[in-house]
Amino acid sequence: MEPARAYYYRDKLLKIIEAGNPYKVAWQVTRRCNLRCKQCYADAQTEQRVAENEMSLEEGKRLMDDLASMGECSLVLTGGEPLLREEIFEITEYAARKNLSPKIATNGTLVTEETARRLKDAGAFQVHVSLDGPDAPSHEAIRRVPGAFEHTLEGIRHLQQAGLPVIIGITIMRSNYHQVIPTLRLAAELKAIVFTFNDMEPCGRGACEQQSEDITPEEREELYQKIFEESERLKGRIMVDKFDPSMWHRVRLQNTRDEAQRQALLALGEAMGGCPAGRWVCLISSVGEVRPCAFFPMVVGNVRQQRLSAIWRDSPVFHALRDAGNIRGACRLCEHFSICRGCRSRAYYYGGDYLGADPGCVIARDIQSRTGDSSMCSNEGRGPIGS
């Protein structure tokens, strides 16, 4: 990232954090989906019954009014598959009117020429399309519906023809570990503006698959390194980013030699402060539950009972996550703590302590063996909470 751009984002983020507001809120407009992805954080289902208790359009509008009253913020309309919700265009239009820069997170398979045009007309700002492999066999082994790959590619073309910027995102797991770099190359060929990646996190169906699909800390380190190298090769063609900066920002910083660029990245990283869960992001589920992030299976309130602005301001869990001094164990002792602080969801899943060390990191493991800190659980041996 160019220094000027890094400082621009740093200043913008700092302004929002200092005002006590979220930077990005995701609203799961439905839990229905036409695919059956093995890692789905929402445990989305094809049956209509999962839509029975979802927030109504009126409830959604109240949520958006509240969000808009808090100040500058962007809203991600996610699912399930958000395009299965008939009111998606009305929701998008309302969010745009409220200056919430609505982004749509879709699997892309249902995007026709008309859908893409209507999303554009409604004021969608960007569209995030998920792609879990560079070809039909690898993508569909995860998405578990034949034909999904071609439909997704077609959807991407329609979106771009309608003038909507497309972000392509992958969820990293054992099944596609060797397909991440080819998928990044494909995203560049498809002219996506950004390629984004996430680790598979222990949420929804991801929790069931976690034991077999989570990669080891060593594999994660090696892969992030390869992603960095490839992102350098593709510089100017596609930007590579991660929903949460944490470890990725650390790898980026460790590999940046130019001093001006390093300083700018460091300034941005310190402003972001690593894992953003409950600090500058959160998720609202289809039934109004508020969670620290999409991949963090802890409910801290419900917008049906209390305004999001009040939950955001008062939640004890959010307060705990915001104070870096609360983080314990190896992460707290790490030299990269100020720009990473580890994945709080992974710490929660493997160790039962969302303020504990992140067991998915090689550095945390080294610190643990050096200091004899026994508070961290391995993500290879011991199982998840409750097992």
Residues binding ligand SF4 (CB under 6 A): 201, 244, 246-247, 250, 275-277, 293, 295-296, 330-331, 334, 336-337, 340-345, 358, 361, 363-364
Q: State the sign of the Cα–Cα–Cα–Cα dihedral 350, 351, 356, 357.
A: negative
Amino acid letter at 140? E
> Which residue, 60 or 202, is less far from ligand SF4 as judged by CB?
202
Q: Could you tell me the smallest distance in angstroms from the CB atom of residue 242 to ligand SF4?
A: 8
- How far is Cα 239 from Cα 355, in angstroms, rounded to an integer? 31
Tokens of 316: 């004890």
> Which residue, 153 or 324, is less far from ligand SF4 as judged by CB?
324
First to last CA, the chain: 42
Give the number of other Cβ atoms within 10 Å of residue 287's Cβ.
17
**Which stretches within the chain are classed as H helix?**
3-18, 57-70, 88-97, 113-122, 136-143, 148-161, 180-189, 205-213, 217-233, 246-255, 259-272, 308-314, 316-322, 329-333, 344-351, 362-371
Q: Could you tell me the smallest distance in angstroms from the CB atom of residue 198 to ligand SF4?
A: 7
Residue with tokens 């310190």: 270
Tokens of 85: 């919700």
Q: State the sign of the Cα–Cα–Cα–Cα dihedral 165, 241, 68, 90.
A: positive
Q: Could you tell me the smallest distance in angstroms from the CB atom of residue 116 to ligand SF4?
A: 29
> Which residue, 98 or 341, is less far from ligand SF4 as judged by CB?
341
> Which residue, 111 or 330, is less far from ligand SF4 as judged by CB?
330
> Which residue, 29 or 321, is less far from ligand SF4 as judged by CB?
321
Q: Could you tell me the smallest distance in angstroms from the CB atom of residue 180 to ligand SF4?
A: 17
- How far is Cα 286 from Cα 111, in angstroms, rounded to an integer? 21
Q: Could you tell me the smallest distance in angstroms from the CB atom of residue 255 to ligand SF4?
A: 14
Question: Do the beta carbons of residue 220 and residue 173 sit within 8 Å?
Answer: no
Q: Could you tell me the smallest distance in angstroms from the CB atom of residue 38 to ligand SF4?
A: 17
Q: Could you tell me the smallest distance in angstroms from the CB atom of residue 331 to ligand SF4?
A: 3
> Which residue, 98 or 242, is less far from ligand SF4 as judged by CB?
242
Q: Could you tell me the smallest distance in angstroms from the CB atom of residue 117 to ligand SF4?
A: 33
> Which residue, 140 or 201, is less far from ligand SF4 as judged by CB?
201
Q: Could you tell me the smallest distance in angstroms from the CB atom of residue 294 to ligand SF4?
A: 7
Strands 239-242 and 281-284 turn out to be unpaired
> Which residue, 50 or 172, is less far from ligand SF4 as judged by CB?
172
> Which residue, 91 or 334, is less far from ligand SF4 as judged by CB?
334
Q: At what angle do helices 148-161 and 136-143 cross, to 10 degrees?
A: 100
For the sheet containing 126-130, what is the strand order? 239-242, 194-199, 166-172, 126-130, 103-106, 74-78, 24-28, 281-284, 289-291, 301-302
